[in-house]
Amino acid sequence: MTELDVQGLQRRLVEFAAAREWEPYHTPKNLAAALSVEASELLEIFQWLTPEQSARVMETPGSAHRVRDEVADVLAYLLQFCDVLGIDALTALSEKIDRNELRFPPSDDRSQSRSQSQPQQPPAPTASTSD
């Protein structure tokens, strides 16, 4: 594979699991749990860092390698999860961005409500099946 694309990577992951006879374990529940574990391992790298240290995490080869590995693990489990459930990840993301653009329009008076040096915090996500 010369070009990296989502479907090609998903196909490689399916083939990898099939060659090891792991398909029975790749249920939506198990993949969602594995995704959560890997996301937690990514978070663990940043757990005790200051905001400044976290912004520089890719400057150190050892920590950069760990971050890349955990990002790869999160993405691998997410792609496998999407494959098992028949979700097109890029379409799902595009549709979610479309909904968020409607839900959270840009403010016309941003400069009056706060100083330029303080970015507005996005609203906390809400648990809703309609999002």
**What does the pLDDT look like over 45-67, one tens digit per residue?**
999 999 999 999 999 999 999 99
0.85 exceeded by pTM = no
Q: How many CB atoms within 10 Å of residue 38? A: 20
In this predicted structure, the answer to whether residue 4 has a pLDDT above a threshold of 70 is: yes
Residue type, 50: T
Residue with tokens 């937690």: 40
CA separation for the pair 89, 95 (Å, rounded): 10
CA separation for the pair 22, 124 (Å, rounded): 37
pLDDT value, residue 108:
76
**Residue 39 and residue 74 in contact, taking contact as beta carbons nearer than 8 Å:** yes
Tokens, residue 45: 């790298």
